[in-house]
Structure 1
Amino acid sequence: MVKPGWRNSMVGELSAEFAGTFILILFGCGVVAQVVAAGIGDHDSIAWAWGLGVTLGIYVAARLSGAHLNPAVTLALAAFKGFEWRKVLPYALAQTAGAFVAALLVRWNYSEVLAMADPGHTLKTQVVFSTLPGNGTLPISEFGALRDQIIGTAILLFVIFAVTDLLNTPPGANLGALIIGLLIVAIGMAWGTDAGYAINPARDLGPRLASFLTGYGDAWRDQYGNFYFWVPIVGPLIGGVLGAALYKVLVGRYLPQADEEPQEPGQVPAAEGPG
């Protein structure tokens, strides 16, 4: 039975996920448009703007929805943190819709710059909106890109679980959003070569659809002509669950529970230790 007020609460949560992801993509796709089409900035400015976009998106949505902003995060939270399974698909749709609308706004705002830099709306500026293997230039296979997305998203969720685990050492004073933003910057700087670090199905699918509807006819394919759109969807969903599981196995299960006496760092109760 649905509790009174559940529908209103759910609308608020989905609205927050839409808004938070919207903000994320405004900064993310916006900076790539500026770098790729206008030639202003470089790889580092892209990494920093994506990270700051995540931070700002979290601050927008955290109170109402928890600010997942990513279906891979939502799925991992449902698998390991008790998030309601019935909310997983609605959250993912809201996130993808927010990314879609934000990408449309970026596409409209930068329409003159994109047309001047790439009149045919080809893969040259498709990277403004969605990812490609090897960033569209390096010889990376679909399998290589899939591997990369699994690993990158596993890193993302492993660290997110660590940062948000109240039994661990979470950041204080509402600084969690900033730390997660810095995590995105670090992933972008260290894991961006093979597949552009989508690490978020909504971040890639929403803008990809927006670009397809506004003149990028090959948006679903990579530079080799293969259907590629599924890689930044499937890879992050697998990697997110894998990263969350690894955190639970390697760290989470050894942390003292809330009703236990605190342990000194590096000390594990004998009953819970290995062996």
Structure 2
Amino acid sequence: MDSECRRKWKVRLALKRDIFKEFLAEFLGIFVLILFGCGSVAQAVLSKGALGEPLSIHLGFTLGLMMAAYIAGGVSDALMDYSKGEFIVTGDNATAGIFASYPAKHLSILNGFLDQVVGAAALILCILAITDSKNIGAPRGMEPLCIGLVIMAIAVSMGLNCGYPINPARDLSPRLFTAVAGWGGDVFRAGGCWWWIPVFGPMVGGVVGAAIYFLFIELHHADAQKQEENNVQQKYDIVTLT
């Protein structure tokens, strides 16, 4: 009876168009990423470091991305206590940075753009290596874990300047939320109109990373027949050694 009921609901509600299925999967995946990632930032900021630190933020985004990848492939009262009811974008008690990225004081617009290009290029480069069946690759089902570890590597090595948004969806959507939730237009004016850097920088970086992987690695893969011969030879060598 239960299976029959599920079948009826599936017939009535299941989407037929792939584009709508992909939209729902991406929507839920990004929600989980921002939930865990921004949640870890909120916990660290609002507790003034008592319940969080940079490492816990890195872990939050890493695990958030891993879970988002598996799924797709809230502001609490503490916020008002922390900022005394004010929605502050910059300064010591700023809370807008919980949701979107803002540059450190030492970072210029040009250097910020380069920071995002390099970070996104590194991410795409590593993802292509992880998912390349003609390279070593990652075991099936382990790709999200490996990609999460790439995010962790980027976080601990490139997070000083502005965090590591490296994804337009991760930064622009929460920034739009803060703009309408009380922080206002300052979320777009802060940091010398910083907002466009984490949107366009990763796009450029993605192209750069993909081009580098193609030119340095993918372009030089052996053809299918030669690859199969190499695999047979490697297996033979392993058997001989054992």
Q: What TM-score, normalized to structure 1?
A: 0.73
In structure 2, distance between residues paired with 1:204 and 1:48: 18
Residue 157 (structure 1) aligned with residue 124 (structure 2): yes
Deviations 1:108-152 (A, max 9, x none): xx2x11111123211221110110112xxx321111111100000
Question: Are the equivalent residues in 2 in contact too, given 1:152–1:191 (CA < 8 A)?
Answer: yes
Using CA pairs below 8 Å that are at least 6 residues apart, which structure has the higher relative contact order? 1
Deviations 1:163-199 (A, max 9, x none): 0111111111410100001111110110011121100
In structure 2, distance between residues paired with 1:163 and 1:36: 34
In structure 1, the residue corresponding to 2:144 is in which secondary structure?
helix
Residue 38 (structure 1) aligned with residue 47 (structure 2): yes
In structure 2, distance between residues paired with 1:204 and 1:214: 15
In structure 1, distance between residues paired with 2:42 and 2:109: 24
Residue 127 (structure 1) aligned with residue 93 (structure 2): no
Question: Are the equivalent residues in 2 in contact too, given 1:19–1:60 (CA < 8 A)?
Answer: yes
In structure 2, distance between residues paired with 1:255 and 1:6: 38
Equivalent in the alignment of 2:236? none
Question: Are the equivalent residues in 1 in contact too, given 2:130–2:143 (CA < 8 A)?
Answer: yes
Equivalent in the alignment of 2:5? none
Deviations 1:34-88 (A, max 9, x none): 11112311000001110110000000010xxxxxxxxxxxxxxxxxxxxxxxxxx
Residue 48 (structure 1) aligned with residue 59 (structure 2): yes
Residue 222 (structure 1) aligned with residue 190 (structure 2): yes
In structure 1, distance between residues paired with 2:141 and 2:102: 35
Which amino acid in the other structure matches residue 65 of structure 2? Answer: V
In structure 1, distance between residues paired with 2:21 and 2:43: 33
Question: Are the equivalent residues in 2 in contact too, given 1:130–1:205 (CA < 8 A)?
Answer: yes
1:226-237 alignment, distance < 5 Å: 226-237=192-203
Which amino acid in the other structure matches residue 47 of structure 1? Answer: H
In structure 1, distance between residues paired with 2:223 and 2:143: 21
Question: Are the equivalent residues in 2 in contact too, given 1:167–1:258 (CA < 8 A)?
Answer: no
Equivalent in the alignment of 2:176? 209
Residue 58 (structure 1) aligned with residue 69 (structure 2): yes
Gap runs ≥5 in structure 2: 1-13, 232-242
Which amino acid in the other structure matches residue 58 of structure 1? Answer: A
Question: Are the equivalent residues in 1 in contact too, given 2:66–2:147 (CA < 8 A)?
Answer: yes
Q: 1:243 Cα shift?
A: 0.4
Which amino acid in the other structure matches residue 113 of structure 1? Answer: A
Q: 1:7 Cα shift?
A: 5.7
Deviations 1:88-118 (A, max 9, x none): xxxxxxxxxxxxxxxxxx23xx2x1111112
In structure 2, distance between residues paired with 1:258 and 1:20: 34
RMSD: 1.9
In structure 1, distance between residues paired with 2:195 and 2:45: 20
Equivalent in the alignment of 1:19? 28
Number of equivalences: 210
In structure 2, distance between residues paired with 1:261 and 1:212: 53
Q: What TM-score, normalized to structure 2?
A: 0.82
Task: Tell which structure's C-alpha radius of gyration is larger.
Answer: 2
Residue 114 (structure 1) aligned with residue 79 (structure 2): yes
Q: 1:6 Cα shift?
A: 9.6
In structure 2, the residue corresponding to 1:53 is in which secondary structure?
helix
Which amino acid in the other structure matches residue 133 of structure 1? Answer: P
Q: 1:257 Cα shift?
A: 3.4
Equivalent in the alignment of 2:160? 193
In structure 2, distance between residues paired with 1:25 and 1:154: 21
In structure 2, distance between residues paired with 1:257 and 1:38: 56
Question: Are the equivalent residues in 1 in contact too, given 2:112–2:197 (CA < 8 A)?
Answer: yes
Q: Aligned in 2, Cα 1:6/1:241: closer, same or farther, shift over 3 Å?
A: farther
